[in-house]
Chain A
Amino acid sequence: MTDQGISQTGRRRTSLFRELLSDTPAAIGAALIVLIVVLTLFAPLIAPFDPADQNLTARLAPPVWIDGGSWQHVLGTDSLGRDVLSRILHGGQVTLLIGLCTTVIALAIGVVIGLWAGYCGGRADSILMRIVDIQVSFPGILLILLIVGVIGPGMMTMIIVLSVTNWMVYARLVRSTVMSLRQTPYVEAAELVGCRPARVIFVHILPNLIPPLLTLSILEFTNIVLAEAAVSFLGFGVQPPAISWGLDVATGRDYLFIAWWLVAFPGIAIALTVLSVNLFANWVRVTTDPQERERRFARDLAARQRRGLSS
């Protein structure tokens, strides 16, 4: 990596992009992520209606392809006649922001605590892990209600609250992985060569935490979107007229039997986001592992040659 000059950095970046394109699922995932981000960012320009605009004459209008639907409300309307498509476009902003921020903050706290406990061991480990145990055994929703009760509902509160209740799982994962990695001969070799602890942690231990952490944070991202929906449903999370996918799924539940589209479309938006992040993350995981990456490269090469022979 360091053996090449800086002049080659640019070329490496384009080749990395080509590598992404050659992996179809990952490319689709990446494209979907870009699409979703652009759509939600520019929601005010794209959305046909204000998401809070009520139109009581067009309540519970079905999507366009069902009898009674119209092109005016492509994905139908909710119980107050608000346009579902516009609500999804706008709701993505809050959902993605809360999901992303919470995952990153919880991940950061969890990794620091986990590394500290796993690398130092002994008393630091016991104390930190007991804190984790206490936090895990404490009902999350109760803590959320407590914090929201003190500092009041809002998006910042949601991010803080969800981070505080979700970091433990990362800490536990990181701690156990670090403890087993510390026993591996190459980490021992690094220490005996004379590496300082910081180098051992950042060069030899942390890179090996990427795959499990990627997988876990994507699962946690979904959890957080749903947790945000649950808290919003209780009235402690995102406050109307602000909107989020989770909130829409939660409120649409009452109309599930007469207007399925209220739950289905925000639900599909959540599922699609998670799926595309997953596809992309899978590619990142392989790319950060030299052995897996070379295997993928060999597979691609073999596939290309076979195609070349048959045609």
Chain B
Amino acid sequence: MTLPPTLSVENLTVSYPVRAGTFWRPPTFLTAVDEVTFAIAPGETLGLVGESGSGKTTVGRAVMRRVNTSAGRIFFRGEEITQMEGEPLRKLRARMQLVLQDPYTSLNPRMRIADIVAEPLLVHGRVKNTSEARDHVRALLDLVGMPADAHLRYPHSFSGGQRQRVGIARALALEPDLIVADEPVSALDVSVQAQVVNLLQDIQQRMGLSYLFIAHDLSVVRHISHRIAIMYAGRIVEIAPRERVFAAPVHPYTKTLLSAVPIPDPKIQRTRKRLIPLGEPVDLANPPPGCRFQTRCAFATDQCRVTSPPLLERSKGHVAACWNF
């Protein structure tokens, strides 16, 4: 018997009202996430990559049941959570946690580190007060590599990287099965980024949890992910095992994205040809029929302008949505 995936998402669609409807005019909607489907196995890291506004953060928020889904279904360890609310949802929060992007604003400045890390334990009734959680908090802070005296201090006395470690400790406190990491390193220095990414990997090996790792930096994603999903304008255009994405990208958008990543060798870098996307990005409030990338794609045909390409399997575990490749 195989374990059900930690998280699986089927045709997830999220749309936001842009303008409220009036008596004369129906409300206009912006579809931030359009029919997204993926799954994350236990102990696996799925990297979710895309440019700003591609809907990757919204996917993370929808999975966490922070924003309401318009259509589609979300399963957590085989159990449907799409419509879950109230107390069951609060209980569920103990098993999936979020690491936020900005470590400078994601910790309450008026709480000590010990209180911040102990808070999940407290609100889920695992401990009665912070002093009861002291040993647990110390162990967690030790796990994320924080100094021993950190628990009595306030967030402002720590650097960005250290604060992010506190954020990770808070997310780990309840030993969740899934952590949604929403650009957890993009606000940090490059050297600190490596430390935090390595920390996340270490923890995964020790605790066997799954990550949905949202980022726009391909090199970070390449380092941590087992599989990578590429998003463009609210849709997933390609999902493949890490090395397949870099070795044999299929979708033109993936190729464009990869060509923007510099190679740390001047000779090779000089011979490379940068693929420049054409045209304008698609207007999400009023998307044309067919492929979302058609306005910027050099290979777009009439078919691309009429029908959306389905995600088809290209090799084992490698799917892409393109008519031409």
Q: Which residues of A contact B (CB under 8 A)?
A: 1-3, 184-186, 188-196, 199, 203-204, 207-208, 288-291, 294
Task: Contact check, A189 vs B131: say whether CB atoms are below 8 A apart.
Answer: no
The reply on B210 being an interface residue by CB < 8 A is no
With a cutoff of 8 Å between Cβ atoms, the chain A residues found around residue B98 in the complex are 189, 192
Of the listed stretches B119-127, B191-199, B225-233, B313-321, name the one at the interface; the rest are far from the partner chain: B119-127
Task: Contact check, A294 vs B157: say whether CB atoms are below 8 A apart.
Answer: yes
Task: Contact check, A290 vs B154: say whether CB atoms are below 8 A apart.
Answer: yes
Task: Contact check, A186 vs B130: say whether CB atoms are below 8 A apart.
Answer: no
Alpha-carbon distance between A199 and B93 when the two chains are bound, in angstroms: 15
* Chain B nearest Cβ from A26, distance in angstroms: 20
The reply on B109 being an interface residue by CB < 8 A is yes
The reply on B134 being an interface residue by CB < 8 A is yes
With a cutoff of 8 Å between Cβ atoms, the chain A residues found around residue B93 in the complex are 192-194
A-B contact pairs, 24 of them (CB 8 A): A3-B112, A3-B114, A3-B130, A184-B105, A185-B101, A186-B105, A186-B109, A188-B100, A189-B107, A189-B170, A190-B108, A190-B119, A192-B66, A192-B93, A193-B93, A194-B93, A195-B119, A195-B123, A203-B108, A208-B110, A290-B109, A290-B154, A291-B154, A294-B156
* Chain A nearest Cβ from B155, distance in angstroms: 9
Task: Contact check, A193 vs B119: say whether CB atoms are below 8 A apart.
Answer: yes
With a cutoff of 8 Å between Cβ atoms, the chain B residues found around residue A1 in the complex are 112, 115
Task: Contact check, A291 vs B109: say whether CB atoms are below 8 A apart.
Answer: yes
Those of B90-113 within 8 Å (CB) of chain A: 90-91, 93-94, 97-98, 100-102, 105-112
Task: Contact check, A207 vs B110: say whether CB atoms are below 8 A apart.
Answer: yes
The reply on B240 being an interface residue by CB < 8 A is no
With a cutoff of 8 Å between Cβ atoms, the chain B residues found around residue A186 in the complex are 105-109
Alpha-carbon distance between A199 and B167 when the two chains are bound, in angstroms: 19
With a cutoff of 8 Å between Cβ atoms, the chain A residues found around residue B170 in the complex are 189, 193
Specify the chain B residue showing the minimal Cβ separation from A1.
Answer: B112
The reply on B129 being an interface residue by CB < 8 A is yes
* Chain A nearest Cβ from B163, distance in angstroms: 11
The reply on B64 being an interface residue by CB < 8 A is yes
Q: Which 8 A-B pairs have the closest CB atoms?
A: A194-B93, A185-B106, A2-B130, A290-B154, A291-B156, A186-B108, A185-B105, A193-B120
Task: Contact check, A192 vs B114: say whether CB atoms are below 8 A apart.
Answer: no
Those of B130-158 within 8 Å (CB) of chain A: 130-131, 134, 151-152, 154, 156-157
Task: Contact check, A290 vs B156: say whether CB atoms are below 8 A apart.
Answer: yes
Those of B32-61 within 8 Å (CB) of chain A: none
With a cutoff of 8 Å between Cβ atoms, the chain B residues found around residue A207 in the complex are 110
Specify the chain B residue showing the minimal Cβ separation from A204.
Answer: B108
Specify the chain B residue showing the minimal Cβ separation from A4.
Answer: B131
Task: Contact check, B90 vs A196: say whether CB atoms are below 8 A apart.
Answer: yes
Alpha-carbon distance between A239 and B114 when the two chains are bound, in angstroms: 56
Alpha-carbon distance between A294 and B154 when the two chains are bound, in angstroms: 10
A interface footprint on B276-303 (CB within 8 Å = 1, 0 otherwise): 0000000000000000000000000000
Alpha-carbon distance between A294 and B158 when the two chains are bound, in angstroms: 13
Specify the chain B residue showing the minimal Cβ separation from A289.
Answer: B110
Specify the chain A residue showing the minimal Cβ separation from B96.
Answer: A192
Task: Contact check, A199 vs B123: say whether CB atoms are below 8 A apart.
Answer: yes
With a cutoff of 8 Å between Cβ atoms, the chain B residues found around residue A189 in the complex are 98, 100, 106-107, 167, 170
* Chain B nearest Cβ from A1, distance in angstroms: 7
* Chain B nearest Cβ from A182, distance in angstroms: 12
With a cutoff of 8 Å between Cβ atoms, the chain A residues found around residue B115 in the complex are 1-2
Task: Contact check, B129 vs A2: say whether CB atoms are below 8 A apart.
Answer: yes
Alpha-carbon distance between A195 and B91 when the two chains are bound, in angstroms: 10
With a cutoff of 8 Å between Cβ atoms, the chain A residues found around residue B167 in the complex are 189
Alpha-carbon distance between A207 and B107 when the two chains are bound, in angstroms: 14
Task: Contact check, B152 vs A290: say whether CB atoms are below 8 A apart.
Answer: no
Please pick, from B112, B123, B130, B152, the residue contacting A193 in the complex, using a CB distance under 8 A.
Answer: B123
Task: Contact check, B94 vs A194: say whether CB atoms are below 8 A apart.
Answer: yes
With a cutoff of 8 Å between Cβ atoms, the chain B residues found around residue A288 in the complex are 110
A interface footprint on B169-180 (CB within 8 Å = 1, 0 otherwise): 010000000000
* Chain B nearest Cβ from A9, distance in angstroms: 13
Please pick, from B64, B91, B131, the residue contacting A3 in the complex, using a CB distance under 8 A.
Answer: B131
Alpha-carbon distance between A290 and B98 when the two chains are bound, in angstroms: 26
Alpha-carbon distance between A196 and B119 when the two chains are bound, in angstroms: 12
With a cutoff of 8 Å between Cβ atoms, the chain A residues found around residue B124 in the complex are 194
* Chain B nearest Cβ from A299, distance in angstroms: 15
Q: A3 with B100: in contact, given A184-B105, A193-B120 (CB under 8 Å)?
A: no
With a cutoff of 8 Å between Cβ atoms, the chain A residues found around residue B109 in the complex are 186, 289-291
* Chain A nearest Cβ from B149, distance in angstroms: 12
Specify the chain B residue showing the minimal Cβ separation from A200.
Answer: B123
Alpha-carbon distance between A294 and B152 when the two chains are bound, in angstroms: 13
**11 additional contacts (CB under 8 A) given A188-B100, A192-B98, A193-B119:** A3-B130, A3-B131, A3-B152, A186-B107, A192-B64, A194-B93, A194-B120, A289-B109, A290-B109, A290-B110, A291-B109
A interface footprint on B183-215 (CB within 8 Å = 1, 0 otherwise): 000000000000000000000000000000000
With a cutoff of 8 Å between Cβ atoms, the chain A residues found around residue B129 in the complex are 2
With a cutoff of 8 Å between Cβ atoms, the chain B residues found around residue A193 in the complex are 93, 97, 119-120, 123, 170
Q: Which of B110, B134, B151 has the most CB of A within 10 A?
A: B110
Alpha-carbon distance between A185 and B130 when the two chains are bound, in angstroms: 22
Specify the chain B residue showing the minimal Cβ separation from A291.
Answer: B156
* Chain B nearest Cβ from A56, distance in angstroms: 61
Specify the chain A residue showing the minimal Cβ separation from B101.
Answer: A185
* Chain A nearest Cβ from B7, distance in angstroms: 15
